[in-house]
Chains A and B, each alone.
Chain A
Amino acid sequence: MSTYVYGITASSHPSLPEGMEGVGNPPLPLRVVKAGDLAAVVSDAPEDLRPKRRELLAHQNVLAEIGAAGAVLPMRFGSVAPGDDAAAQVLTERADHYKERLRALDGRVEYNVKANHVEEAVLHHVMAANPEIRALAESNRQAGGGSYDDKLRLGEMVAAAVKAQEAEDALALQRALEPAADAVSVGPESTGWLGNVSYLVERATAENFLAAVEQVRTDMPHLEVRLNGPLPPYSFVEPGPAEPAGTTAGGADAGAG
């Protein structure tokens, strides 16, 4: 039976709450595999594990519970060891590295901030700031919407201007929140958001960070800012400037801040 691994903690980590369950249908019971100073929180691996919403939530819930009791290195969803022995062996082989990470992340949590433009507001802004776009929009309007090519030309100009504005606002957002965090990890670019940045924040001073987010919401009302946390430090399990694996863009600013 292979072993599903949720996260790595110190072996001195408080024991799991009674009856905690993990992934699988029905949910599988959790257990702890210890090796020296380290421990892995694991369960049996379900035969046909798929990245379904329920399974992802189970993974996240387990890590949230463990993380509330002390530092944890969260595994990415779906990590399966050949067995408990193999999991223990990895802990032993890389003990120094994991212990260093656990120390670095002790007492710290991740907050993920994503932002979108309020579309109408950004369109207004782009038009107001750009006479050329405004003129073209006006002539299109007078022509009853304009030809297909006219529309395309206008839309392309607007899209470019919106994109530039997104980059500008993403930077402004990040600059505003950085001072309240220990480290910053820039997530992948996407059309789903203009900014996707995770911040490593000390639990004890999290209020300062939350206040900074509220300030941003006040100062940049044309942004819809989504805050999620406190979370296990998914984005900070690897040290230094390395971006999280899978990151395709925007990693240049990642790393210790």
Chain B
Amino acid sequence: MTVVPAQQSGGGGGSSGLYDVLELVLDRGLVIDAFVRVSLVGIEILKIDVRVVVASVDTYLRFAEACNRLDLEAGPRKDPGLPDIVGQVTESGARGKSKGALSGAAETISDAFQQGREGDGEGERETKSRPRARKSTSSRRKEEQE
């Protein structure tokens, strides 16, 4: 399979870059009412799912926990300003771990695409979520919907 020729993907790359493009393929583009659209049942669920807002008890608890762990030494008396902070974050190598709550939903969709590929052989439902070690709020919600 050719993987997205004539394209340059800065920054993200990998599966997240691919997801970013596929989201456009699914959600934008010309629609002609005289044409039929293939059934996107599973994808519609994902789209609703991904728009679930941040506000949930799980998120609150997670944020509270994250703040509890945050090193506030620089905080109370001295506003460190963002650039400094990012410097610290990068130095401590925490950058990779720091996306948790904010991109959980996007990961869910990426997983769905991933599973779509894996399921190609047997024609399985590509949007079904499989059990995962770390579940985001949204993926759990999705299972409830199914």
Contact with A along B102-146 (1 / 0, CB 8 A): 111110010001101101100100100000000000100000000
Q: Which interface class (under 10, 10 to 19, 20 to 34, 35 or more) fits B?
A: 35 or more
A228 interface residue per 8 A CB criterion:
yes
> Given that A77-B29, A189-B51, A221-B83 are contacting pairs, would A234 and B24 also be in contact in the complex, using a CB cutoff of 8 Å?
yes
Alpha-carbon separation in the docked complex, A53 to B119 (Å): 10
Contact present for B60 and A137 (CB under 8 Å): no
Contact present for B24 and A52 (CB under 8 Å): no
Chain B residues closer than 8 Å to A120, beta-carbon distance:
66, 70, 85, 89, 94, 98
A105 to chain B, nearest CB (A): 11
A230 to chain B, nearest CB (A): 7
In the complex formed, the residue of B with least CB distance to A86 is: B34
A60 interface residue per 8 A CB criterion:
yes
A152 interface residue per 8 A CB criterion:
yes
In the complex formed, the residue of A with least CB distance to B110 is: A192
Contact with B along A224-249 (1 / 0, CB 8 A): 11111111001101100000111110
> Given that A86-B34, A155-B62 are contacting pairs, would A137 and B7 also be in contact in the complex, using a CB cutoff of 8 Å?
no
A47 to chain B, nearest CB (A): 11
Contact present for B76 and A154 (CB under 8 Å): no
Contact present for A221 and B82 (CB under 8 Å): yes
> Given that A60-B4, A61-B4, A146-B64 are contacting pairs, would A80 and B80 also be in contact in the complex, using a CB cutoff of 8 Å?
no
Contact present for B80 and A230 (CB under 8 Å): no
Contact present for A222 and B113 (CB under 8 Å): no
Alpha-carbon separation in the docked complex, A80 to B40 (Å): 13
Q: Which of these, A65, A125, A140, contacts B64 with CB under 8 Å?
A: A140
A58 to chain B, nearest CB (A): 8
Alpha-carbon separation in the docked complex, A217 to B86 (Å): 12
Chain B residues closer than 8 Å to A187, beta-carbon distance:
23, 27-28
Q: Which of B37-93 contact A (CB under 8 A)?
A: 37-40, 42-43, 47, 50-55, 57, 59-68, 70, 72, 74-76, 79-83, 85-86, 89
Contact present for A134 and B76 (CB under 8 Å): yes
Q: Which of A77-97 contact B (CB under 8 A)?
A: 77-82, 86-87, 89-90
Alpha-carbon separation in the docked complex, A152 to B56 (Å): 10
Contact present for B79 and A129 (CB under 8 Å): yes
Q: Which of B6-31 contact A (CB under 8 A)?
A: 6-12, 16-18, 20-31
A221 to chain B, nearest CB (A): 4
A132 interface residue per 8 A CB criterion:
no
Chain A residues closer than 8 Å to B63, beta-carbon distance:
123, 154-155, 158-159, 162
Chain A residues closer than 8 Å to B7, beta-carbon distance:
64, 228-231
Q: Which of these, A7, A48, A87, A228, contacts B20 with CB under 8 Å?
A: A228
A224 to chain B, nearest CB (A): 7
Q: Which of these, A48, A118, A145, A229, contacts B86 with CB under 8 Å?
A: A118
Contact present for B60 and A152 (CB under 8 Å): yes
A-B contact pairs, 19 of them (CB 8 A): A64-B4, A64-B5, A75-B29, A76-B26, A78-B38, A80-B35, A80-B38, A112-B24, A120-B66, A128-B74, A154-B67, A155-B64, A193-B106, A198-B28, A228-B17, A229-B7, A230-B7, A234-B28, A246-B27
A-side residues, CB < 8 A to B, are 2, 5, 7-8, 25, 48-54, 56-57, 59-61, 64-65, 67-68, 73-82, 86-87, 89-90, 110, 112, 114, 116-121, 123-125, 127-129, 133-134, 137-138, 140-141, 145-146, 150-152, 154-156, 158-159, 162-163, 185, 187-194, 198, 210, 213, 217, 221-222, 224-231, 234-235, 237-238, 244-248
B-side residues, CB < 8 A to A, are 1-12, 16-18, 20-32, 34-40, 42-43, 47, 50-55, 57, 59-68, 70, 72, 74-76, 79-83, 85-86, 89, 94-95, 98-106, 109, 113-114, 116-117, 119-120, 123, 126, 138
